[in-house]
Chains A and B, each alone.
Chain A
Amino acid sequence: DGGITQSPKYLFRKEGQNVTLSCEQNLNHDAMYWYRQDPGQGLRLIYYSQIVNDFQKGDIAEGYSVSREKKESFPLTVTSAQKNPTAFYLCASTTTGRARANVLTFGAGSRLTVL
């Protein structure tokens, strides 16, 4: 079945460490997204990518980095510069092109906790 796989599901990090969250999709979607979810807040966009080797900052990109070397993969690195990284992270994807405002397909998420 097609879908989005995020790993790991739970991740613990010590302060000062970088960590990378994996996001893989087999839906042949062009666009991929990373969202952050905090209690009492909606999802906030960190980064997005519409094609391979190109990505754009979202609303809260500071302290994060991404790459898009393959269409299927869009890993997110949470760097030590991110001051409050404890959160739930969601990866999503959708098609692009003539069909506008396509529905996002989400992964199951990764919970990052800083110790």
Chain B
Amino acid sequence: AQTVTQSQPEMSVQEAETVTLSCTYDTSESDYYLFWYKQPPSRQMILVIRQEAYKQQNATENRFSVNFQKAAKSFSLKISDSQLGDAAMYFCASVNGYNNNDMRFGAGTRLTVKP
């Protein structure tokens, strides 16, 4: 079974600065996908970024990028030029490519952005 670990319950960053959220995962499968989801105070979960394990290139979405280290099973999220609207809970998740119904989530990291 997959497991996802987020070791940082809380993080803070100054507005306009860069912050990195950590995530490690464990899977025995070779085909899997990794995600970062954002949950703002409204509690609506929103996809931030998605990474396919077979792709070596790190995914990017505007100010959001990942550092995918497959051998180390690490999948960190970097937020550049942090904005007040980035304040939220961030969840790392993984899913086995053969089983869409087995998505696993980490415990989350609460990000505070200081003006």
Contacts and interface: CB of A to CB of B under 8 A. Distances in A.
B107 A40 contact: yes
B100 A42 contact: no
Given A40-B107, A42-B105, A42-B107, A102 B45 contact: no
Interface string B85-105: 000000101010110111111
Interface stretch (A13-21, A66-74, A77-85, A88-96): A88-96
Contact of B35 (A33, A100, A103, A108): A103
A56 to B, nearest CB: 7
A40 B9 contact: yes
Contacts of B91: 42-43
B15 to A, nearest CB: 27
A64 interface: no
B97 A56 contact: no
Contact of A42 (B33, B43, B50, B104): B104
Contact of B100 (A88, A101, A108): A101
A31 interface: yes
Given A42-B91, A43-B91, A48 B45 contact: no
Contacts of A100: 33, 97-98, 100
Most buried by B among A40, A42, A109: A42
Contacts of B107: 40-42
A33 B95 CA distance: 14
Given A104-B45, A106-B45, 7 more contacts: A40-B107, A42-B4, A42-B106, A100-B100, A101-B33, A101-B95, A106-B46
14 contacts: A31-B101, A40-B108, A41-B107, A42-B104, A42-B107, A44-B105, A45-B101, A90-B45, A92-B45, A100-B98, A101-B32, A102-B100, A107-B44, A108-B43
Interface of B: 4, 9, 32-33, 35, 42-47, 50, 52, 91, 93, 95, 97-98, 100-108
